[in-house]
Each structure stands twice: as C-alpha cells, then as structure tokens.
Amino acid sequence: MEKRLSQKTIFLTGAARGIGATCARIFVSQGAKVFLVDRDQVALEALAAELNQAGEVAIPRVLDITNRADVEQAVRSMHEVWGRVDVLINNAGITRDSLTAKMTEEAWDQVIAVNLKGPMICTQAVFPIMKEQQSGVILSASSVSALGNIGQANYAASKSGLIGLTKTWALEFARFGIRVNAVAPGFTATEMVTTIPEEIQAKLVAQIPLRRFATPEEIAKAYTFLASDDASYITGQVLYVDGG
C-alpha cells in the first residue's frame, strides 16, 4: 500500500519534542520530508540526525516562530531545497498558567505571541508558495482548552483564536486549493502535561470518558490523516482528539 504522505514536504513547528517530535517520526515513516523548526537546538538536531539515518528526509532550523524574518527565511530555504511546501503544521505552543486575577501582562503577551501570532506569521510565509502551487494543507494545534479552562485565560484565548484563524483561512484559501483544519487534542502525555502535579493529573484523568491521557502518537495520527490526500474534501474543521 502506498504511504499516506508519500512525496509530501512538511514545515513543522515545535518539532523538537512532544507531539511535534512524534509527528516528525510518523510523517517520515509515511514517506514525507520534514523541515523541523524549534527554539531548542540540541533536541532538534538530535531528532534530525535520528530521522536522517535512513536517508536525507529532515532539515532542522533553530528559530522562534514569533520572528517573522527568520520564519520567512526558513520557508524560502525549504522551498529552494525541495521545490515545494505541501504542508504547514502550526504545532509550537506554550502555556503560562495562572488565574485571571493574578495573570501578568507578560504571561498574556508571551502566550498570545507564540500560540496565535506565530501561526499567523508561519501561515503568511507559506501562503504565496501554496497559492503558486495551487495546493497546500495548513493544520494548527488548537486544544480542548479553547472551550475554557480555569487558570488558562491566555492559553484558551489563543487556542480558540486559532479556531477563528482556521475557519477564516479555510474560506480565504479554498479557491487556491489550500485546505485548512485544526486538531484539538485533549490532555496528551507530553512534558506540557507530565509536569502537572500528580494529584491534579489524577483529577484530570477522572474527567476523561476514556479514563486516560492521549499518547502523542494518537494526536500525530490525526495530523497525518488531515495532511494526507485521504482528507481531500475536508476543510475548515476542528478535529477533537480528546477521549470523549
């Protein structure tokens, strides 16, 4: 059977660890080439070296997605090397949790900058190339927290903001053959979640119908499906992968 992402070139942000690193491995196993972007140089280069053992399939680029010039330069490099930018995965994201009454302006600004402005910058950078190709896929990491979560006003605003962006981009870009969707994971066992105190983790699990956190693989498989041609008539959607 043909691999699901055969010949696809994918610009993946937040690739160094967690869901992003798992996506990179699964995308490559499905035949894709991955341009890996992250702030964490050590982890990023280790992942690229691992993936490139079986052939030149990964290019790492250390950058902060809030830096427009660096993102534009990275997208240009990817296009020069591989000649195409088939898929953008806006996966990089951060949390700076606190109750609204105590939330600092800095915590607000940081989360909005990385989780909302970063995806806007990356999307603006790939759009002219996808328009020229008359094809492309843009996927973004929303979250169940988009629906509201105590202590996450900044994060929830950013993740519901991404749903607004997704639906707007889907409408604006459809006539160029570009599909745009979001994946909204529930709690997933990455450092973002395993660093939460254990008693709070137990309370969170108790509220999930399937009674466990997602694995990063389960989230990466949703991205794989939406990035693939199997999802060729799906756009403007939010796929909740949240255990119920």
In the shown chain, the binding pattern of residues 93 to 112 toward ligand NAD, with x for contact by CB under 6 A and - for none, equals xx------------------
Return the DSSP state at 88: E
Candidate ranges 12-20, 77-85, 100-108, 131-139; the one touching ligand NAD (CB under 6 A) = 12-20
Does 143 bind ligand NAD (CB under 6 A)? Our answer is yes
Closer CB to ligand NAD, 130 or 144, in the complex: 144
Smallest distance from ligand NAD to CB 24, Å: 11
Cα 159 to Cα 116: distance, rounded to the nearest angstrom: 8
Smallest distance from ligand NAD to CB 216, Å: 7
| Pure H helices in 134-206 | 153-173, 191-194, 198-206
223 part of the active site: no
Chain-centre distance for alpha carbon 183 = 8
60: which strand partners? 36
Smallest distance from ligand NAD to CB 237, Å: 16
The number of residues making up the chain comes to 244
The token pair at 10 is 């994918």
At 177 the three-state DSSP class reads: coil
Smallest distance from ligand NAD to CB 67, Å: 8
CB 219 within 8 Å of CB 183: yes
Identify the residue among 10, 16, 48, 163 touching ligand NAD (CB under 6 A).
16
H or E element: which one contains 60? strand 58-62
Identify the residue among 64, 97, 217, 218 touching ligand NAD (CB under 6 A).
64
Cα 242 to Cα 219: distance, rounded to the nearest angstrom: 9
Closer CB to ligand NAD, 23 or 28, in the complex: 23
Identify the residue among 32, 35, 61, 66 touching ligand NAD (CB under 6 A).
66
Candidate ranges 69-77, 127-135, 184-192, 203-211; the one touching ligand NAD (CB under 6 A) = 184-192
| Pure H helices in 87-233 | 105-112, 118-133, 153-173, 191-194, 198-206, 216-227
Catalytic residue positions, numbered: 155
Contacts with ligand NAD, residue ranges (CB under 6 A)? 13-14, 16-20, 38-40, 64-66, 91-94, 114, 118, 141, 143, 185, 187-188, 190-193
